[in-house]
Structure 1
């Protein structure tokens, strides 16, 4: 059987370059995408993170660039500056290995615009790797022409949609030549994205590489119900139980990332944080320090789930379940990469179990665990949903009465009355839980102050 990397249509320099970076056996996505793009066929590719999709489009793009023509011939878009920078580094690595004289420029929002302008005017790039906003800005200002672009690649297309950048891509795509080769790569293909892609690709080759919702078999994927325990203390216990090589903790907001970072630092852990609110310089410095092994723990927002490729992550903890459930899959996919084993733990409370059920329908399998004697052990599975609901929700006797009466024929609006009563009961319980948390925090602050007091008293 012919090896995709030795296809006679691929330039000899590229074939040698792939060998140098140890690309000898193509992945499934590379086997299907490279020949299609070499044949000038538009493609829509659904493939999971870590499937090798980056090189599946870089090889045909590099192959298509005329080194002697100093104008933009290919554009690759990525929805975040982290992803764009990551692609830029991979592209530079392939260029160096192949010895090709291809001029590549990286454009991203949040970085020095004037400096980027100057670079483009001096270097005359042939390949642009950019975030949608900065790309549109430069295209509309006619910083470089796009009427001779041969290849236009949209990477992480579903994330581009989620982050609201599809309109920017649309405006750029409308200015490209009619015969441009389009390729879109995505973990999922939502309807809105599919409709957009159809606008520019009449009959694309649709390539689906396994189900991106399935967790890699190398990952042990656990679910831990924290119950009434203090969630932060549970997190600290999990992080310090087995001494992970590198642990990545995910929270939903920048504020929660900051809060968890401060809490873990107060417990004596050396913790790095990554979210959209920190500066580009600080982010790069933090990532460099993580790669150098200076941090064992990283707390991050979902930006890191899709925008960063941190090597050596042995443990992922979902401190919160994200609003977009697909992010759970991308978070968990940060560990267990390249055939290595990984461990993921999702923390939940009883009221979030319906969201776990949704994930299970998507194909995500969880093992239910609990902490006993300082280690994670299996616990009884929640498969009996009715029993779980009966045990989990201890309703007040008045509400139990409402529920029993509901089975009889009642006047219109009676069900709404029950629903309101249950909601009010849940609200009251949440208030009580919040009060408990405030009291626990006060007790902890008091305990921290007590030793200092004893030292002062002793000196007196």
Structure 2
């Protein structure tokens, strides 16, 4: 066996040649850990970050197991969205062309003419099926794909499959396969809710966790900006004018937020694309073609829409707000800093939104605190100092808070001293009132005991 896993003697010579043509020389950590295990026929649960090279970690062994003489469906690969399925299908076709292997592959997903797909499958059984859970389940139920012939099943992006509610479809598919089928699961995270499925269908799986000590890629500069009372859209626009980013992906939590940011930036004269669930498949494909053709420099998207697309050259990711589900933070930031290229991720928060930041820091994610000053990003003091000041002000009456703010304005000599005196007098008066009240309470208590 060669030291480089791509030259493993268990891999077909045609595949090895194809891998070389793809320009793969040094395998990634996930490829080094996964490929030998899958070649040996093990069931795996693989946790690896977005952009780690996991697609080819399972695609190469899948191709290696296909018996080209058998015109049956031997492998199923599922993805939770049409775009992800298309991406996997494109990778598979590319690997096939580079290798020159006579392997039939079919893409089964929503948004593609179902009747035409059915006719195509009846004419020629695909040896590898790549698609979304619902469409694959439909074809298995109609006996267009014979589940008993399947030897390998790969579930990609399992956490997203769970989030989108497709795990029941996966369950239906897996329940129809032979007991000796090899099933492997790939995911950026392994939620606890996924464990029942893993225990049900994976026979003694081996867990492979590719840890990144910093959770996100070390090539990513991860910044945090306190927007204070400023408009988020205004801050986003300012960021787009700093440092001339090559391509920017802006994340928003809701479709309406995406529409609002898109409208604001468009009014500012920027050519901006938007991607969310309410946009038709045809329109989304058109937008993606235009993005690949560099007709757009800025893209605004929701999490689930963006998880299904692969855009090369993202130099800046902006989180208009932190995601409700913090696992998406890793997916968002993973869109930049790929292939050892440097990238920047900037998250916009207010002082009241620091709890999610603390949770992310607990996961090992480190932030650099930044501010925008004179059209540049500069270092700033930690949020903690500001919160301490706010905590001090909360102890004062509202009218005295106003006095504190006024004290910062340049005034005539003695003005600040008078404010300090007023504050001290107010606090002294409160102490006297408190002491008197305590004395009255003590007298009432004594009188009650005497009665």
Q: 2:158: which partner in 1? A: 157
Task: State the secondary structure of the residue aligned to 1:307.
Answer: coil
**TM-score after normalising by structure 2:** 0.85
- 2:268 matched to 1:267? yes
Map of 1:198 onto structure 2: 199
Distance 1:190 1:392, change over 3 A: farther
For each residue in 1:380-414, what CA deviation from the matched residue of structure 2 results, as whole angstroms up to 9, or x when unmatched? 0124696266269798649x99xx99xxxxxxxxx
Partner deviation per Cα, 1:248-295 (whole Å, 9 max, x = no partner): 100011111111111111110000111111111111111111111111
- Farther-moved stretch of structure 1 (383-392 vs 247-256): 383-392
Assess if the C-alpha contact under 8 Å between 2:18 and 2:99 holds in 1.
yes
Question: Structure 1 residue 167 and structure 2 residue 153: aligned?
Answer: no
Answer yes or no: is the 8 Å Cα contact 1:250–1:302 preserved in 2.
yes
How far has the Cα of 1:112 moved from its partner?
2.1
How many positions carry a matched residue from both structures?
404
Aligned to 2:143: 142
- Preserved CA contact (<8 Å) 2:74 2:151: yes
Q: Aligned partners of 2:380, 2:241: CA distance in 1, in Å?
A: 21
* CA gap 1:169/1:30 in 2 versus in 1, 3 angstroms: same
Mapped pair 1:339 → 2:340: yes
**Could you give the per-residue CA deviations for residues 231-252 of structure 1, whole angstroms, max 9, x where no partner exists?**
2111111112222110110001
| 2:351/2:383 contact within 8 Å kept | no
Return closer, same or farther for 1:376/1:392 CA change in 2, 3 Å cut-off: farther
Q: 1:329 to 1:385 in 2, by over 3 A?
A: farther
* Structure number with larger C-alpha Rg: 2
**TM-score normalized with structure 1 length:** 0.84
Q: Which residue of 1 aligns with 2:251?
A: 250
Which residue matches 1:382?
383
Alignment partner of 1:147: what SS?
helix
The residue that corresponds to 1:414 in the other structure is: none
Question: Secondary structure in 1 aligned to 2:296?
Answer: coil
Does residue 182 of the first structure (1) align with residue 145 of the second (2)? no
Partner of 2:90: 89
RMSD of aligned Cα (Å):
2.3
Deviations 1:94-136 (A, max 9, x none): 0000001111111112332222222222332110001111111
- Give the CA deviation at 1:306: 2.0
Evaluate the alpha carbon distance shift between residue 386 and residue 296 of structure 1 in structure 2; reply closer, same or farther with a 3 A threshold. closer
Instruction: Give deviations 1:351-401, integer Å, cap 9, x for gaps.
Output: 111111111111111111111111110100124696266269798649x99
Match of 1:371 in 2: 372
C-alpha spacing 1:267/1:163, structure 2 compared with 1 (3 Å): same
Unaligned runs of 5+ in 2: 402-425, 432-451
CA deviation profile, 1:290-314 (whole Å, cap 9, x unmatched): 1111111111110244221100111
Question: What secondary structure is seen at the aligned counterpart in 2 of 1:241?
Answer: coil
In the TM superposition, residue 138 of structure 1 has moved relative to its aligned partner by: 1.6
Aligned residues of 2:247 and 2:314 also touching (Cα < 8 A): yes
